[in-house]
Structure 1
């Protein structure tokens, strides 16, 4: 079965958008993954097809109603019972490559796109919905975040990137930023490709790439570097017991 993506949205016309082009688009046309959009407004129960209401306690903006969202989520779950449901929201857990890989290895995903002031919190109490954020900034809605999430997953599907090893050395796959990349011409405006990359010495090249990745991560993303160093410092399972400590 191909990876199946279902998007719950007020703007289904935004899909596939960029996912219909390049590698993701080709994979979609070839059947490596499928895309279905569900109009949240179809689950409204009043004659105005209302999906939102004013915030309880007052305040600006509108909030997506839990009853309408729950009906849309239930509909998607009936069609894809094994797929996790993710809500794109700045209040969610930051998306990382490990979570992307776990999603890509599954049967698919249902993505709930927010709008306005966000979701009635009770949707997360009444339904199993994982809250996910793609960064510390605000978008007009969850659709752009859903495109990011799906693109990250689709590129990992078998055959989408071509060689299976294509994505293994990229940023975040090893907990580090990727090392700098170069290509021809060797000399450009007086700037040359580092000599080590032209040496043909694979051991030296590997060492340079590793050192560059560590240096760039330490300088540009100290948060990643701290997590990476913390992971390296942890002893392997059982090591403490072998040393006679508890």
Structure 2
């Protein structure tokens, strides 16, 4: 008879074989684990897609942790009101600073280490791969999901919230943006991707869009895989991929191409665009 396998330790929590799956968002805290705290009016929206595939497996294994804070629990009155009409008039409702502050105070009290405080907002800095890499190196993040017409500016000032946007469009709330931000960040953590080279070679990692990808069959609907990719000549394959990445970036993202040229010390070529 052989000894049973020892449980795998993750922080102060251990994983043991069980027929009952662990709650992906339990209240137990994992010491030293990258943790995302999400303040939201829709806690039921989480983990959502984050509970699936690679991010979901990493969440299950304790590589990272996710905790939601229901903003409605801090509301006032019988209906737990969290918002009010805009000062000075106007359409819509604004999330109150005093209500949001209670939720933020709880999140801050639980945060350990270097944990940025972000507000998902259409007027914020645009989220990109560089920001995802930076967040992955921190100890976690606090995300405040905006709703309605926005958040009282005094809350932003009081807690030093950095505003972050997915792009030049408006969502009904910050929950979808929060999940996108977390997905992009968590996948960069060690042990999440099966092959760490995948993150190194994909779009934006080098400042360029990713080169075209192909797989079997070699010929499909009369379209063949480029011959160089089947040659086995690694230097030629690398050169082809670099050339294709540059071509696609120049055609589709002139802004990224200009930045790429500037890094190479060739800004004069910008005039050709």
How many pairs are equivalent?
235
Q: Which runs of 5+ in 2 are unaligned?
A: 1-31, 268-273
Matched, 1:52 2:83: yes
**Equivalent of residue 158 in structure 1, options 190, 193, 196:** 190
Check the 8 A contact 2:83/2:94 in 1, yes or no. yes
**Equivalent of residue 172 in structure 1, options 204, 211, 215:** 204
Q: What residue in structure 2 maps to residue 90 of structure 1?
A: 122
**Equivalent of residue 144 in structure 1, options 176, 181, 193:** 176
**Superposition deviation, residue 45 in structure 1:** 3.7
TM-score computed with the length of structure 2 as normaliser: 0.83
**Equivalent of residue 70 in structure 1, options 93, 96, 101:** 101
- The RMSD of aligned alpha carbons is 1.4
Separation of aligned partners in 1, 2:77 and 2:265: 58
Separation of aligned partners in 1, 2:150 and 2:55: 29
Q: What residue in structure 1 maps to residue 136 of structure 2?
A: 104
**Superposition deviation, residue 186 in structure 1:** 0.7
Separation of aligned partners in 2, 1:227 and 1:51: 43
Distance verdict in 2 for CA 1:191–1:91, change over 3 Å = same
**Superposition deviation, residue 124 in structure 1:** 1.8
**Superposition deviation, residue 81 in structure 1:** 4.4
Deviation digits for residues 145-170 of structure 1, max 9, x if unmatched? 00000001111111110222221000
TM-score computed with the length of structure 1 as normaliser: 0.92
Q: What residue in structure 2 maps to residue 185 of structure 1?
A: 217
SS of equivalent to 2:264: helix
**Equivalent of residue 56 in structure 2, options 25, 42, 46:** 25
Using the TM superposition, name which of 55-64 and 146-155 deviates more.
55-64
Structure 1 residue runs of 4 or more that deviate by more than 3 Å after TM superposition: 45-48
Using the TM superposition, name which of 38-47 and 104-113 deviates more.
38-47
* Greater RCO (CA < 8 Å, at least 6 residues apart): 1
SS of equivalent to 1:150: helix
Matched, 1:226 2:267: no
Separation of aligned partners in 1, 2:105 and 2:139: 18
Separation of aligned partners in 2, 1:207 and 1:66: 54
Separation of aligned partners in 1, 2:112 and 2:73: 20
Check the 8 A contact 2:112/2:139 in 1, yes or no. no
Matched, 1:128 2:156: no
Separation of aligned partners in 1, 2:266 and 2:66: 41
**Superposition deviation, residue 62 in structure 1:** 0.5
